[in-house]
Structure 1
Amino acid sequence: MTAPHIYVTRSLPGNSLSALHSNELPAVESPPDTPEPPSRAELLSGVAGAEAVLSMVTDRIDAEFLEAAGPQLKIVANMGVGYDNIDLHAAAQRAVTITNTPGVLDDAVADLTMGLLLGSVRRIAEADRFIRSGTAWTWGPRDFVGLDVSAGAVLGIVGLGRIGMAVARRAQAFGMRILATGSRATSEEARALGVVPSTLDDLLPHIDVLSLHCPLDPSTRHLISAAQMQSMRPGSWLINTARGPLVDEEALADALENGHLAGAGLDVHEFEPQVNERLMALDQVVLLPHIGSAGDATRHRMATLAARNIAEVLAGRGPLTPVALPGA
């Protein structure tokens, strides 16, 4: 039988696994330091006999994976705030604790959201590509005109949780007006920022920019589909730093190609890591490779929190940031 161990699926920054280096814990088994994620076969082999797994959002944690681990598996600590890569029902059936890393990445994702928003609506990335093309140019009064965010532009935030609230604080500092859905839309902090609580259907016709910050689950897949895009104000923009499948990308390409939407900024993609070829061909779309939390200190805090969750559970204590399992 495979000796008990802690399986870490990707190489992590610095000393973020220090919480796992104890004589009281199983040995840590890390994969080679390669840029590519482990294959499915490598995941199933690596998890065999593990008491704990430190997983990434790119790892599919399902019944097959949990079965390959064996009955001694106690915890899967996902390095990310989202956990749509995990079959929670399968974990509940096997009494496997699931944790995530909320809170520690809020500011990094909010910073990236505002950068992506500005890069899109002020056409920064588009203008950069134009310069690099070597095309001859001179200043013109109609060239690369975009949205003035500080002139009272309206931002719609779908999912005013921790990250959404961090985005709202930044947007308010830029002079944007904010409509929002979500758990904190009626909170005291939201009111202080001038946030107007709304429903998705009510806010869509009144915003200049829509920014998504809700989790992905069966109820939110294609939350923004053709019908919702048609309800958006003509010439508005879509920003997604949450999860790709929240958006029907074929419908998005249609709305951009026919001119109903002015542009989009996407850090995440519906069929990640594949990127929609129609969107790739459009100058008014800014595309990033899922880098919302990619700050050095942030990634270190994420990995450290995941490691601490494992250490707590294997020591017989409760996890720090558990994910509620069905039936719990």
Structure 2
Amino acid sequence: MFSFFNSSQSPKVVLTRNLGPDVMPFLERRQDIDLVVWGQDRTCDRKWLLENVQGARALIVILTDSVDQEVLDAAGPQLQVVSTMSVGYDHINVKELAKRNIKLGYTPDVLTDAVADTSIMLALMAGRNARESMTVVNEGKWPEYSWGPFLFAGRQLSASSSSPVRTAGFLGFGRIAQATLTRLIPFGFTHCLYTSSPSSTPTPERDAAIQEAHGLQALRRVDLDTLAAESDIVFVLAPGGAATANLVDEHFLRKMKKTSVLVNTSRGTLVDSHALAKALRERWIWGAGLDVVTGEPQITADHPLVKEPRCIILPHIGSATVETRIDMATLAVKNALAVISGTEMLASLELSS
């Protein structure tokens, strides 16, 4: 544990991971705070957190830290803000924060480009059978194969003479989905479908502007069945939580084209892992690219999805560029410091009790 003590009257800021040399100076050079840092490069020890959060005015966490009623009780009534270095906040009891009038800072926008890049990478890898092909080389089996007209052949992402109409489907159509669509346009995608929460307000003017900007033949908000049936690639980019659990289930997967690809770079809980494994095994769809899986990181070699050669699985690296992680950490710190300084956070979630 690192601790930087000032006066006893200084607001206490607790940080659950050292954020590196590019970001830590924002905190360490402040003479008006009492900074306490979990100094080990692993998940913050729960006992340490419960002991050290006592009396804190600001708590800065990462997505492996559970901020529940126990932590908030331990902190005490003076806690003003919880700031997380993530766009998701499933690890935080939002209702408890609202009840206690504690602000919540998070880090949207700064990871949009990195996750959109990863989404395209997974679409390419899943469509072109990258895992199967790389395994042939890595296991030294390439010499055993003789060239054939369709050896190692996968599905093409870009439009072609045999498939001039390319349709991208998005389960969720927020910032990352729209950034992903932008990256698909040079591949010749002509149509875009998306679903949104039933409670969300339709946005025909926004949709018309996006369609015109990208020169799309169509951009439509549709139901889940239509999304599954008409999309060449389905990108799962909706928030996690109980309301979206297993939206991509056996029913959805059976509706998809046999030539289609599923990509999930949002939350593992949106996709039923066992249904997806069955879909891949029985060839209901062509392939899948996953950056997230339900139960991560406890995904071992005997997991049903790991056993499927046409399933690309990454260890949740969607935002894992040096540039993005520095930006996320910086924003998380600035959010926390803004609240204890009496100014507006750069990115806060509106809470309601």
- TM-score, length-scaled by structure 1: 0.93
Instruction: Tell me the amino acid that sits aligned with residue 180 of structure 1.
Output: Y
CA apart distance, 1:22: 4.9
| 2:267 aligns with one of 243, 264, 288 | 243
2:141 is the counterpart of 1:115? no
Report the aligned-residue RMSD: 2.1
Q: Deviations over 1:68-101 (max 9, x none)?
A: 2221211111111111221110111111100111
Question: Contact conserved, 1:17 with 1:303, CA < 8 A, in 2?
Answer: no
Instruction: Tell me the amino acid that sits aligned with residue 176 of structure 1.
Output: F
Structure 1 counterpart of 2:244: 220
% identical aligned pairs: 36
- TM-score, length-scaled by structure 2: 0.86
| 1:283 aligns with one of 291, 309, 318 | 309
The number of aligned residues is 326
Structure 1 counterpart of 2:171: 158
**Deviation beyond 6 Å, 4+ runs, structure 1:** none
- Distance across 2 between alignment mates of 1:158 and 1:22: 43
CA apart distance, 1:139: 2.4
| 1:60 aligns with one of 37, 57, 66 | 66
What's the secondary structure of 1:279's corresponding residue? coil
Instruction: Tell me the amino acid that sits aligned with residue 133 of structure 2.
Output: A
| 1:167 aligns with one of 156, 180, 183 | 180
**Distance 1:128-1:22 versus aligned 2 partners, 3 A rule:** same
2:324 is the counterpart of 1:298? yes
Q: Deviations over 1:206-255 (max 9, x none)?
A: 11211111111221111111111122122321110001101111111111
Structure 2 counterpart of 1:179: 193
CA apart distance, 1:32: 2.2
**Distance 1:132-1:62 versus aligned 2 partners, 3 A rule:** same
- Distance across 1 between alignment mates of 2:173 and 2:211: 9
Structure 2 counterpart of 1:324: 350
- Distance across 1 between alignment mates of 2:116 and 2:242: 25
Instruction: Tell me the amino acid that sits aligned with residue 166 of structure 2.
Output: A
Structure 2 runs not aligned, ≥5 long:
1-7, 160-164, 197-201
Structure (1 or 2) with the larger CA radius of gyration: 2
Q: Deviations over 1:10-54 (max 9, x none)?
A: 2213321333345454222222242x3123333323323221111
| 1:9 aligns with one of 12, 16, 19 | 16
What's the secondary structure of 1:280's corresponding residue? coil
CA apart distance, 1:2: 12
- Distance across 2 between alignment mates of 1:176 and 1:42: 51
Question: Contact conserved, 1:78 with 1:99, CA < 8 A, in 2?
Answer: yes
**Distance 1:226-1:19 versus aligned 2 partners, 3 A rule:** same
Structure 1 runs not aligned, ≥5 long:
none
**Distance 1:148-1:96 versus aligned 2 partners, 3 A rule:** same
Question: Contact conserved, 2:123 with 2:157, CA < 8 A, in 1?
Answer: no
What's the secondary structure of 1:211's corresponding residue? strand
